[in-house]
Amino acid sequence: DAMVIQNPRYQVTQFGKPVTLSCSQTLNHNVMYWYQQKSSQAPKLLFHYYDKDFNNEADTPDNFQSRRPNTSFCFLDIRSPGLGDAAMYLCATSRGLRRDTQYFGPGTRLTVL
């Protein structure tokens, strides 16, 4: 009964080589989020979509982009990964902006060589 699915669970890329991480949800939630979590640190919000409206956090680097082609899917694109972008990337959803309960996927661990 997976609700928030992230693929792949582990991704290895080379320095500077674009990479795309995928998230899908079966909850039909309006809001989808992407977080970055580095080792032993708290998750850090990168951006979120409310339906098709994109909301970028002020300190999210331009290197990070996102697409949401439909309600169920959301992608995180890292245009030119650096060594410092190695982290766990978490996707989450919530029903709307009226409720803060977020449902997280298992995450994708990105390694940059």
Partner 1 sequence: LAKTTQPISMDSYEGQEVNITCSHNNIATNDYITWYQQFPSQGPRFIIQGYKTKVTNEVASLFIPADRKSSTLSLPRVSLSDTAVYYCLVGARGTASKLTFGTGTRLQVTL
- The region of 12-20, 43-51, 61-69, 78-86 touching partner 1 under the rule CB under 8 A is 43-51
Per CB under 8 A, 31 contacts partner 1: yes
Q: Which is nearer to partner 1, 24 or 94 (CB)?
A: 94
The DSSP H or E segment spanning 67 is strand 64-67
Per CB under 8 A, 36 contacts partner 1: no
For residue 8, is the peptide bond before it cis, meaning its omega torsion is within 30 degrees of 0? Answer: yes
From residue 57 to residue 96, the character string flagging contacts with partner 1 as x (rule: CB under 8 A) and all else as - is: x------------------------------x-xxx-x--
- In this structure, the dihedral spanned by the alpha carbons of residues 110, 51, 55 and 107, taken in order and rounded to 10 degrees, is -20
Per CB under 8 A, 4 contacts partner 1: yes
Per CB under 8 A, 38 contacts partner 1: no
Per CB under 8 A, 103 contacts partner 1: yes
The C-alpha atoms of residue 83 and residue 107 are separated, in whole angstroms, by: 18
Rg of the chain taking only CA atoms, in angstroms: 13
